[in-house]
A and B are shown apart, each in its own frame.
Chain A
């Protein structure tokens, strides 16, 4: 096989719209194009460059960015002040030391200090301890009651994933389905959780799995669980199609 395509030529080919045929040097690029036909590596490179060109062209030359209104930053500060009260420990300084509180400047030139952020800084040693996945901090705190028995989710043909699903009552969201799946395949899309009737004909989408394969999803009481006892996790693409893809990874049933 000849040498790989010169990166500048590859860039040129990626930029070619392929519909005008007017690019003066298309004859010069005949050799590289022949090489591309037989070299998966160069085709991979080209594909990646084309994705960039497509993104840039769909954005347009002066694609404006939308600055968030000032109130967004203000409510971030407010939220940190009310929702993250300083965690007191013997080793922690009192949060309201004035030298610290004045250090935060809001993004657009104001001088509003944030006591909570300063306090958080002092408490940062506490927050960083342990191996808690970062997204665990995000979810609203909820306590679960009447936690039911875990039901096994078995792999579907061609998959090695497995997991558990259980029902519980959440203080924050009412009835919830707590689901955990291990060994999820590596995919481009996302995983959707469904409740199905035993015949597998009728489906209710419950929500998406988190990237760690876990989710606690509300199941409103209007959903008649005995009629939809099967839990199914499917691979979905971001293709605008809300229907079940037909590609299931694990499945189990909530009764018995």
Chain B
């Protein structure tokens, strides 16, 4: 442990309640067909959706198409959004996944038609990582950057710094109990986000 201590003010450790409230406000507005809210939803989740599309498809043009399709589908299908089945972000991840799968299937189809003269099933272009793994990764990265700075810092030390909670406490000067509760809370928030999205797959 040679790096300098990271001092974290305890006051910075709050739960992201405001973020949740904002999501609920956006969900309500969408259901009411409020177009300003639709623009705000695009601002909030546009980068996440576009990053998911870019990473799964690997093609800038196709990714832009998918991003556009996701938001068009969200606007046109807003009547089918059920807040009780999960938050807006998870619903958007679900739509993104379907659009990505469609785009990949269309690719497969194009490859097949190109080789349809051959009787054997042609070799088909497929993706390396599973779309779900990529979606999870982008979702977690997006949620991480929205955590309160101190909580994000603690998780970053645990995830990437490979520090134990005891070491994080020494390093940050925070009480061990605080480190523990925030590591746990942060991880459970991320976990909930991933699981909410997976329910929509």
**C-alpha spacing A54/B108, complex, angstroms:** 29
Asked if B79 and A127 make an inter-chain contact with CB atoms under 8 angstroms apart, the answer reads yes
B105, CB-defined interface residue at 8 Å: yes
Asked if B187 and A49 make an inter-chain contact with CB atoms under 8 angstroms apart, the answer reads yes
B13, CB-defined interface residue at 8 Å: no
Interface with B: A32-40, A68-76, A142-150, A155-163, which one? A68-76
What chain B residues lie within 8 Å of A75 (beta carbons)? 68
B158, CB-defined interface residue at 8 Å: yes
Given the known inter-chain contacts A7-B184, A20-B162, A121-B35, please indicate yes or no for A238 contacting B132, CB distance below 8 A. yes
B27, CB-defined interface residue at 8 Å: no
What class of interface size applies to chain B in its complex with A? 35 or more
B42, CB-defined interface residue at 8 Å: yes
A211, CB-defined interface residue at 8 Å: yes
Asked if B136 and A55 make an inter-chain contact with CB atoms under 8 angstroms apart, the answer reads yes
- What does the 1/0 interface line of A7-37 toward B look like (CB < 8 Å)? 1100110110100100111000000000000
Given the known inter-chain contacts A120-B35, A138-B77, please indicate yes or no for A67 contacting B46, CB distance below 8 A. yes
Asked if A67 and B67 make an inter-chain contact with CB atoms under 8 angstroms apart, the answer reads no
Asked if A8 and B183 make an inter-chain contact with CB atoms under 8 angstroms apart, the answer reads yes
A-B contact pairs, 18 of them (CB 8 A): A20-B162, A52-B194, A59-B140, A63-B144, A65-B50, A65-B51, A66-B54, A67-B46, A67-B50, A68-B64, A76-B72, A80-B75, A121-B34, A127-B33, A205-B112, A208-B101, A223-B116, A242-B126
**C-alpha spacing A26/B194, complex, angstroms:** 28
Interface with B: A85-93, A102-110, A176-184, which one? A102-110
Asked if B39 and A65 make an inter-chain contact with CB atoms under 8 angstroms apart, the answer reads no
In the complex, besides A49-B191, A133-B80, 5 extra interface pairs with C-beta distance below 8 angstroms are A8-B180, A58-B137, A66-B51, A84-B76, A107-B43
Interface positions, chain A 157-209, Cβ under 8 Å from B, are 190, 202-205, 207-208
In the complex formed, the residue of A with least CB distance to B129 is A240
Interface with A: B4-12, B15-23, B163-171, which one? B163-171
Given the known inter-chain contacts A80-B75, A138-B73, please indicate yes or no for A222 contacting B50, CB distance below 8 A. no
What chain B residues lie within 8 Å of A56 (beta carbons)? 140-141, 144, 155, 159, 190
Given the known inter-chain contacts A17-B162, A124-B32, A242-B123, please indicate yes or no for A72 contacting B141, CB distance below 8 A. no
Asked if A203 and B68 make an inter-chain contact with CB atoms under 8 angstroms apart, the answer reads no
Q: Is the interface of B mostly helix, strand, loop or mixed?
A: helix
Chain B positions near chain A (C-beta within 8 angstroms)? 32-36, 38-40, 42-43, 46-51, 54, 64, 67-69, 71-73, 75-81, 98, 101-102, 105, 108-109, 112-113, 116-117, 119-121, 123-124, 126-128, 130-133, 136-142, 144-145, 155-156, 158-160, 162, 164-167, 180-181, 183-184, 187-188, 190-191, 194-195
Nearest CB on A from B55, distance (A)? 8
**C-alpha spacing A4/B152, complex, angstroms:** 27
Size of A's binding interface in residues, CB under 8 A: 77
Chain A positions near chain B (C-beta within 8 angstroms)? 7-8, 11-12, 14-15, 17, 20, 23-25, 48-49, 51-53, 55-61, 63, 65-69, 71-73, 75-76, 79-80, 84, 103-108, 114, 117-118, 120-121, 124, 127-128, 132-135, 137-138, 190, 202-205, 207-208, 210-211, 218, 220, 222-223, 227, 238-243
Asked if A240 and B127 make an inter-chain contact with CB atoms under 8 angstroms apart, the answer reads yes
Asked if A134 and B117 make an inter-chain contact with CB atoms under 8 angstroms apart, the answer reads no
Asked if B140 and A23 make an inter-chain contact with CB atoms under 8 angstroms apart, the answer reads no
In the complex formed, the residue of B with least CB distance to A29 is B164
Picked from B73, B102, B117, B191, the residue with its CB within 8 Å of the CB of A48 is B191
What chain A residues lie within 8 Å of B124 (beta carbons)? 205, 242
